[in-house]
A and B are shown apart, each in its own frame.
Chain A
Amino acid sequence: MERIPILKLESFLLVSIQVDMHDQLALALQDDLTQKIVATRARAVLIDISALEMVDSFMGRMLGNIASMSRILDAQTVVVGMRPAVAITLVELGLSLPGIRTALNVDAGLALLRAAVERPDVLVDGD
């Protein structure tokens, strides 16, 4: 069964979603990610969706779930690289991904996470 790879970088986990998500894949990712956060004691998760040309409500909910699960395990989540068209679609759908932090690209996302991990009181939840 295909799985989405999860890379460890310093105290962060990197996930790059490059295929269309479906239920099985999403569940597998949530499963893998939570296990990996516990196993590696990661402080933050960075999800790159720059390859996705389409995001639907299912995807939006899944990202929200991952963020909530990570937070319970004391890891911050940031979603990076959302395309303009995707952002417009999500807004039109009325999904503003509450509770998820976003950044323009992986660089910005890592900077955000480093700041959040160093000073967790500054950027606790998304806007």
Chain B
Amino acid sequence: MNRPASRLPAIVEQHQKEVLADWLSNQASSGALRAGRIQESQLRDESQRFLALFTKAIQEGIEFETRGAQWADIREFLTELSRSRATQGFTPSQVATFVFSLKQSLFKRVNESLKSDPAALAGTLWDATIALDALGLYTTEVFQQAREQLIARQQEELIELSTPVVQLWDGILALPLIGTLDSERTQVVMENLLERLVATGSSIAVIDITGVPTVDTLVAQHLLKTVAAAQLMGADCIISGIRPQIAQTIVHLGIDLSSVATKASLADAFGLALKRRGLGVGRAATPGA
């Protein structure tokens, strides 16, 4: 596009102070402070830095390119801002509004300066719109990335937390499963269980599915895989905690669990495990008798 040099940089530089003041009052009135989540002084500081970086960037080249070197500083600043806002609980549109709200005060000054020259006015407004829109969208993008990282981390933590293997007795392990079983979790559960079997030298594992909300063919297949792997290592599995509805579902789906011992409650399964180990629980002799 071949057109005269943009007058935006000059206008912004000349009216930086007024633009900043306008922008701040706009933000304050539109509720950008979000009921005290950030301090006014912090917002002022951030706005000032953004405007300074923006001024510097457009002076070096008005054409916005996401990868352009002159936009590197401002991108870095927005990345930081967006991430900190994401953790403070702001919504993406509130973060993007931080950038978009600059338009109003900026356009006002541009309008005043170029009243006599409609062509230049339109061109300048277009330049400002392009640059600010791109920056606003960029904040949304970063915001989303930050949230996705957060979710991924929480998922990992959940997986780690949700698969404890506990030792019930010498040679008897229990694996209380809570939550839905998918392939990824089954893999983690299986590895955990098998490793604990080796570490403790246990020959019986009780898999308790009381906390598994639904059992479908896939979940059953995952369970049977775990049982088969444990059997290959020389350990027996007992599945416990099968609720009435789940027992019905299993039969209706035609899932064959006959290769595994199943019990309704963990207590029953523990009793069976003790029996298989040749152990038993009895009442202690009455004290004093």
Contact = CB atoms under 8 A, between A and B. Distances in A.
A91 B197 contact: no
Contact of B190 (A88, A96, A101): A88
Interface residues of A, number: 25
B201 A87 contact: no
Interface string A71-86: 0000000111011111
B198 interface: yes
Given A84-B195, A84-B198, A91 B225 contact: yes
Interface string A86-127: 111011100011000111110111001000000000000001
A102 B228 contact: no
B234 interface: yes
B231 A96 contact: yes
Contacts, number: 62
Nearest to B190: A88
Contacts of A97: 232
Interface residues of B, number: 20
B28 interface: no
A88 B191 contact: yes
Given A88-B191, A104-B233, A105-B201, 20 more contacts: A82-B234, A84-B191, A84-B197, A84-B229, A84-B233, A85-B191, A86-B232, A87-B194, A87-B230, A88-B187, A88-B229, A90-B229, A90-B232, A91-B228, A96-B231, A96-B232, A102-B231, A104-B198, A104-B203, A108-B234
Interface of A: 78-80, 82-88, 90-92, 96-97, 101-105, 107-109, 112, 127
Interface of B: 187, 190-191, 194-195, 197-198, 201-203, 225, 228-235, 259
3 tightest Cβ-Cβ pairs between the two chains A and B: A84-B194, A103-B234, A102-B234
